[in-house]
Structure 1
Amino acid sequence: MVPVRQTISVVTGCFNEVENLPEFYRRIRAVLLEYPEFDYEFIVADNCSTDGSRELLRKMAAADPRFRVILNAANFGHIRSPFNALLHARGDVALYICSDLQEPPELLGRFIQEWKNGAEVVCAVKSASQENPVMFAIRRFYYRLIGYFSDVPQLQDFTGFGLYGRRFLEALRLYHEPYPYFRGLVAEIGFRRVEVPFVQERRKHGRTKNNFFSLYDMAMTGFVNHTKLPLRLAVFCGFALAGVSLLVALGYFIYKLCYWDTFQLGLAPLVIGLFFFSAVQLIFIGIIGEYIGAIWTQVKNKPLAIEEEKINFDE
């Protein structure tokens, strides 16, 4: 009886990466050729690229029937679209990687060895980065902050780059998340996990698609999905500030009674107190708004992506 060959799924998202895609495909395939006992499939989800990436993906799919392409009907963002592509993976194990080449494809060989040794999840964690050192330091601070406050122990310096076994992929389907925080789900789902350090490379071509708002969106998604601490801090601070306000008011009242003719309250304390408490209220209203926004996203239950066309998929 001929044994059934196992399949490795390589899953990535794409938005205006026409300069990186050929090298990405070549480097991944070079590693796969070192493991002839495995079959493979590529799954690339394109988010309505405008730089010629779609035309290139069509040519690559025509040349390789195992190169599968999902062309989205619109840009569904760098969170939803790659996650939707991952759910299409049919392999025994899936490599989840960005197509911008900042995550070295050559680590796939190390991932496969760890998976063969029994790890269901192999996570690549950034030990260092060639990116802007200020941004790298901010990211590290965020990872440690959410790791400290999260209800589930989080992976430090983990971007989602890694190898995931079939049992993990099936467990992932049980989470009906319209706007998933994948890094948190990896920590929450569990299974035997191995961490592999790597150095994040500098982007060779193109520009990053992340800006302040997209990074803030991802950061707050992680917080509201995995901890209620900001809401509880709002309550605790509210009680504390109310107590301080009461003591200050009581102190002013007693001082006024003792020095009725000479003590005048003045306008400055009133103005400072007014603006201080107004700022605190706005901050906490914003925190509550983030959680309400997350609830709103869940209630709407939008699909992860609308697919305009799928190439080389045998439905």
Structure 2
Amino acid sequence: MTDKLSIIVPCYYEEETVPLFYQAVENVKKDLENIELEYWFINDGSTDGTLAAIQKLQAADPEHVHYVSFTRNFGKEAALYCGLQEATGNLVTVMDVDLQDPPEMLPEMIKTLRNSDYDCVGTYRVSRDGEPRIRSFFARMFYRLINKISDTEIVDGARDYRVMTRPMVNAILEMPEYNRFSKGLFSWGGFKTKYLEYENQERVAGETSWSFWSLFKYSIDGIVNFSQFPLDIAAFVGFFSALISGLAILFIVIRYFVDGGDPTSGWASTVCIILFVGGIQLFCLGIVGKYIGKIFMEVKNRPLYLVKDKK
């Protein structure tokens, strides 16, 4: 029996890596038993030669290579979801085009999936060699934090790189939410997953489009999407602030009757207290506003992406 493997490849300014990725996967093709490959390159609004490189591959191998090109950059999550929608294989994998997801693991991943009752075989990095230390530190902190405050467990170092069965893909497609965090969605579904480990791989060419700030915002989205803990923080801070203020007022009233006279000498301390309480209020409003903003984007019901070209 021959299985069809759909390979979803989000691309954003990856002109140099597209042909290298295709060749690397083709080199592994001989080790894939009874597997027919289907490529879906998703051009996420790149304005360099990424689309031209994909079109060149498509022209050379029109039977297996397909692409979707967005009107602008909608983000990796939108590109990933688009690929899941377009994939027709009974097996589906998501891979980074920069070859940080080693294609050499595909035979083992598929074999594991075939010879077990798993719904998904994922991957995670056991090391972060070659990655800036500050980024590695915050990545580890993120996984520790989200696994403490969320009911959805996300494996530390887990990648989007995984091979999924068709039932799992169909289930993911039933979650068309605008604010997406795929690592969380993959885990939230509860599908039986086995993780294979590997050493960190560096990019084969080009530069990553993920800056520290973009990764930080992405992690915040992940926390907000899969935990209400920030709202609990806002509630706790508000309650604690009100409690301390009430005790302070009680103390001032008691001191007034015990010592007599005006206990409020000077205005500097009063201004500091006002600014402190105001800062707490703004902090709590910011947390609530983040969730309201997510709701606002969801209820608009806009499409996750717009297609400019497809083949």
TM tier, smaller: over 0.9
| Residues 59-78 of structure 1 mapped to structure 2, 5 A cutoff | 59-64=56-61, 65-78=63-76
| Cross-structure match for 1:166 | 166
Equivalences for residues 1-315 of structure 1 within 5 A: 3=1, 5-64=2-61, 65-118=63-116, 119-129=118-128, 130-261=130-261, 263-311=263-311
Q: By how many angstroms is 1:212 displaced?
A: 4.4
Q: Report the alpha carbon displacement of residue 176 of structure 1 after superposing the two structures with TM.
A: 1.9
Partners in 2 of 1:167 and 1:297 — Cα distance? 28
| CA distance in 2: counterparts of 1:29 and 1:301, whole angstroms | 39
Equivalent residues of 1:12, 1:97 under 8 A apart = yes
SS in 2 for 1:200: coil
Deviations 1:221-266 (A, max 9, x none): 2122211111122112211110111101211221232222485543
* Contact 1:179–1:304 under 8 Å retained in 2: no
1:292 partner SS: helix
Give the C-alpha shift of residue 83 in structure 1.
1.8
What SS does the aligned partner of 2:123 have? strand
Amino acid of the structure 2 residue aligned with 1:38 = I
User: Are the aligned partners of 1:95 and 1:108 in contact in 2 as well (CA < 8 Å)?
Assistant: no
Change (3 A) 1:263 1:70: closer
**Structure 1 stretches lacking a partner, 5+ long:** none
Say whether the 8 Å CA contact 2:135–2:212 is kept in structure 1.
no
* Matches of 1:170 and 1:219, distance apart in 2: 25
CA contact (8 A) 2:43 2:51 kept: yes
Q: CA separation of 1:226/1:29 partners in 2, compared to 1, >3 Å: closer, same or farther?
A: same
- 1:141 deviation in Å? 0.5
Superposition TM-score, scaled by structure 2 size: 0.93
Alpha-carbon RMSD: 1.7
Secondary structure (helix, strand or coil) at the match of 2:188 reads: helix
Task: Quote the Cα distance in structure 1 between the aligned partners of 2:243 and 2:265.
Answer: 20
Mapped partners of 1:152, 1:48: distance in 2: 31
In 1, Cα distance between the equivalents of 2:175 and 2:161? 19
CA distance in 2, matches of 1:36, 1:125: 24
Give the distance between the partners of 2:216 and 2:137, measured in 1 at CA: 15
Deviates more, 1:287-296 or 1:271-280: 271-280
How far the C-alpha of 1:32 sits from its partner, in A, is 2.2
Structure-1 separation of matches of 2:263 and 2:228: 45
Q: Which moved more, 1:132-141 or 1:110-119?
A: 110-119
Report if the CA contact (8 A) 1:147-1:156 is conserved: no
CA distance in 2 between counterparts of 1:133 and 1:162 reads 26
| TM-score, normalised by the number of residues in structure 1 | 0.92
Partners of 1:222 and 1:264 in 2: how far apart? 46
* Unmatched tracts of structure 2, length 5 or more: none
Change (3 A) 1:250 1:30: same
Q: Helix, strand or coil: the match of 1:160? A: strand
- Cα distance in 2 between the residues matched to 1:121 and 1:137: 28
- Matches of 2:310 and 2:179, distance apart in 1: 22
Give the Cα–Cα distance (whole angstroms) in 2 for the partners of residues 156 and 83 of structure 1.
22
Corresponding letter in the other structure for 1:8: L
